Structure 1
Amino acid sequence: MSRDTKNIYATAGQMKAARALLELSGEKLAELSGVSLVAIRRAEASRGLAGMMRANADAIRTALEGAGIQFIPENGGGVGVRLREPGKS
Structure 2
Amino acid sequence: MVNAVPTISPAQLRAARAWLNWSQAELAKAASVAKTVVNRYEQGHSVPHADSIKKVQGILEAAGIRFAFDGMKGTGISAVD
- C-alpha deviations, 1:26-75, integer Å up to 9, x for none? 1110111001101110000008xx71100000000000001110000117
- For 1:14, give the aligned amino acid: Q
Q: Which residue of 1 aligns with 2:33?
A: 35
Regions of 4+ moved over 4 Å: none
Which consecutive unaligned segments of at least 5 residues does structure 1 have? 1-5
In 2: Cα distance, 1:8 partner to 1:69 partner: 15
CA contact (8 A) 1:8 1:57 kept: no
Structure holding more strand per residue:
2
Select the residue among 47, 53, 67 that pairs with 2:63.
67
- 1:68 touches 1:83 (CA, 8 Å); kept in 2? yes
| In structure 1, C-alpha distance between the alignment counterparts of 2:24 and 2:53, rounded to whole Å | 14
Q: Which residue is equivalent to 1:80?
A: 76
The TM-score with structure 1 as length reference comes to 0.77
Determine if contact 1:8/1:54 at 8 Å carries over to the other structure. no
Secondary structure of residue in 1 paired with 2:58: helix
Cα distance in 2, alignment partners of residues 68 and 53 from structure 1: 23
RMSD after superposition: 2.0
Unaligned runs of 5+ in 2: none
Q: What is the percentage of aligned positions where both structures have the same residue?
A: 26
